[in-house]
Amino acid sequence: MQIKQKPLHNNHSSHLNAKFLEPYHFSESEAGICGAILIVVGLVTSAITSPIIDRYKKFLLAIKLQVPVLGIGYLAFTWAPQTGSIAAPYAISALIGAASFSLVPIALEWIIEQTHPVSPEVTSTICWTGGQLLGACFILISDSLKAGKDANPPQNLHR
């Protein structure tokens, strides 16, 4: 038996995209495209910003700028499907992808510098494990937020 693992961020984002978009009659394909936009924009942004930030060693400034953008992006995504247009979820997914994917290498580098005597493998493993646990909690919480079949629209996540 072979077990395959996916990064939890991608799994969590795909899970939430489908959960948020499904009650508003968006298809699974549209939710998948939303996830793909998040990943592609995130990878491109990370490839551009990471070397620049690493060169000038402005890790903390980048973290302080990107974390609020992520919070606002996730908050905005909760209301995006209600617009009835798929453009809003696509745009917000691009924003979330750009902020989150470029934040990962920056945050890891900053954490490694802060915990210097400790091996980088230990620090990154602790962060990865914490992220996996939080992601699992968020998936469980999002499942418990689902409204009933009598809600408008049925089974939305605005309970």
Mean pLDDT by 10 residues, the chain (159 residues): 41 67 89 94 96 93 96 92 93 96 92 92 93 89 81 77
Which residue in the block uniquely carries the two structure tokens 């979330």? 96
CA-closest candidate to residue 71, choices 46, 92, 41, 50: 92
d(Cα 25, Cα 137) in Å, to the nearest integer?
Answer: 26
Structure tokens at 144: 């418990």
Whether 23 and 81 have beta carbons less than 8 Å apart is answered as yes
| Sign of the CA dihedral running 47, 50, 54, 55 | positive
Distances (CA, A) of 50 to 106, 108, 127: 7, 11, 19
Domain-by-domain residue ranges, the chain?
29-107, 115-145
